[in-house]
Structure 1
Amino acid sequence: MQSLQNKIDFVVVLGVENANPNGDPLGGNRPRTTADGLGEISDVAIKRKMRNRAQDEGENIFVRMQERADDGAKSLSERLGNFLKGLPKEDQKNRDVVFDKVCQQWFDVRAFGQVFAFKKKDTGAEGVSIGVRGPVSIQSAFSTEPVAIDSVQITKSVNSETTDDGKKSSDTMGTKYRISGKAVYVTKGSISPQLAEKTGFSQEDAEIIKKTLLTLFVNDESSARPSGSMEVLKVVWFTHDCKAGQYSSAKVHRSVKVDTNNDKVKVEVNTDEISGLKYEILDGQ
């Protein structure tokens, strides 16, 4: 594995059309908006999709969705406990050893970090409380323009339960929310080589992060996000020539201009602001 030698910044441009980009369409789960009406996709939702894509690629993931928990663990503490019990007793008590082992074991831990603060009885092994600060940071995504939200009532027309009088049971009502029409969202992130050194995050891991961003909505279809309603339009991937970075992440992120005029999305980089910085503009997959 090749250690990460260069700071990385990235900007991801997302397209949404008549979908709820954050998730569950029921239970009053409206698409997120800011005080000024911009649409928002939380960083938690984005990292959840990135974890799912990494797991699809064969990476071992610690924070898994319940339906993706294929290792038999019913909780995070049980997953950690099962892992710790496989370590020698003396290693279970050594915070530095446990730090290194959990980073080696789980891709998302060495990428995004994780707080391990479970009780001894929860893990079934020597109690340990450690915090891992990951090198990959990503912001919430915000729409380039204010969004409108549609609400649609849902009626279940089938007979859900058998009634005493043989008549049809009451219909179940719900509400489905979605972004009205089309919207363009932008999220930004960075990868720190200094933090990567501590968790063992490698250059190969950075390529996995790039791939998850390019394929963010693959296998993510649901009634809230029908197939084709969410897409990655562009990923702008910046590679600095040193660990500290040639420019600040804020300046790099500001150099990306997203133009949505005439219903077409155009992504450009103002190279005058970041002279000499290498970058590539990639199409989503």
Structure 2
Amino acid sequence: MMATLGNKIDFAVIFTVRNANPNGDPLNGNRPRTDYEGYGEISDVCLKRKIRDRLQDAGESIFVQSDEKKTDGMTSLKNRAESEEFGLGKEAFNAKKTTPEATAKSACAKWLDVRAFGQLFAFKSEAKDGVSIPIRGPVSIQSAFSIRPVSITSTQITKSVSGEGDGTKKSSDTMGMKHRVDSATYVAYGAMSPQLAERTGFSDEDAEKIRAALLKLFEGDASSARPEGSMAVEWLIWWKHSSKSGQYSSAKVHQTLRDYILRDHLEQGRPIDKSALNDVLKQALPGLEPIIESGF
């Protein structure tokens, strides 16, 4: 059995958005998400979806697959969990072929996203209350926010649809709106817990796979709302602590980067420089060496 994650890890991803809708809000006409102060927001669910897609592109086994990336023919998460290959569900529990503990262990061993982010499996059984198996993952990631309030441009568009019959009769066009963030820099923060990794079997090798996926977060993610090249990871900052509990809290580690962005990047108008950022972070957190990688 592979050893689980040995050291606490904190990380941050700095990425740019230019003329794209990074995460539309379905409750607001699919406009880019913003908070009440006008700062752009990308939900943690959206970021995890992209991480899962990049891991799946790399050949990893993923439980929560997007519709356009399904590789096993399963039509739902329920079908995937109850598939013959995995052998879960009502029949297995009623026949007492498995236990919740064994099921959680099998799920974590099979799917990387389950042992990274966790998952809730709920199955019916002969008992009235059924079977619910919560798995808490060691990898957490926060919603990303822009470092300045964003400017959103909305454009009215016409959408053509196919006519009926032999095609000689043209159907009427419909009106719609398309929204985009003109230009913004976003930051997302995350962490990996060795204590929770022990429960799911999440390893140092798995952490490196997540790290590689973060650097390629938007590759192969193009759409009409996010044209190729409109979103790009600029920097990935990776803090690997010297112990399971870590030398510093995640809040303190993340705050050092926030302070640098506010002081040197925003107020002084300076670009994010790798050497200067490395010096600032090392000075603020003695004994914790950051690894700063470019996404380009």
Output the CA distance in 1 between the equivalents of 2:44 and 2:175: 31
Q: Give the aligned residue type for 2:29.
A: G
Count of matched residue positions in the alignment of Structure 1 and Structure 2: 277
Distance 1:85 1:129 in 2: 12
State the one-letter code of the partner of 2:155: V
Deviations 1:140-171 (A, max 9, x none): 000000001111122135x621479x653210
Higher helix share: 2
1:1-285 map, 5 Å:
1-22=2-23, 28-82=29-83, 83-85=86-88, 89-92=95-98, 94-120=99-125, 128-156=131-159, 160-162=162-164, 168-180=170-182, 182-256=183-257, 257-258=260-261, 259-260=265-266, 262=269, 264-266=271-273, 268=277, 269-285=280-296
Q: CA deviation at 1:72?
A: 1.4
TM-score by length of 2: 0.86
The amino acid across from 1:282 in the alignment is E
Q: CA–CA distance in 2 between the matches of 1:133 and 1:85?
A: 19
| Structure 2: gaps of 5 or more residues | none
CA distance in 1, matches of 2:173, 2:196: 54
> SS at the partner of 1:84?
coil
TM-score normalized with structure 1 length: 0.90
CA distance in 1 between counterparts of 2:289 and 2:269 reads 30
3-state SS, counterpart of residue 187 of structure 1: strand
Q: Provide the alpha-carbon RMSD of the alignment.
A: 2.5
3-state DSSP of counterpart to 1:270: helix
Gaps of 5+ in 1: 122-126
Q: Percent identity?
A: 54
CA contact (8 A) 1:60 1:107 kept: yes
Contact 2:24-2:31 at 8 Å conserved across structures: no
AA at the equivalent of 2:172? S
Which deviates more from structure 2 when the two are superposed, residues 27-36 or residues 78-87?
A: 78-87
1:102 alignment partner, SS class: helix
Q: In structure 2, what is the Cα distance between the partners aligned to 1:73 and 1:27? A: 32
- Runs ≥4 residues deviating over 4 A: 23-27, 85-89, 260-263
SS in 2 for 1:255: helix
Moved more, 83-92 or 235-244: 83-92
Amino acid at match of 1:110: R
Give how far 1:23 is off. 5.3
- Write the distance in 2 (CA, Å) between the matches of 1:103 and 1:232: 29
Q: For 2:190 and 2:46, how far apart are their aligned partners in 1?
A: 14
* Partner SS state of residue 160, structure 1: coil
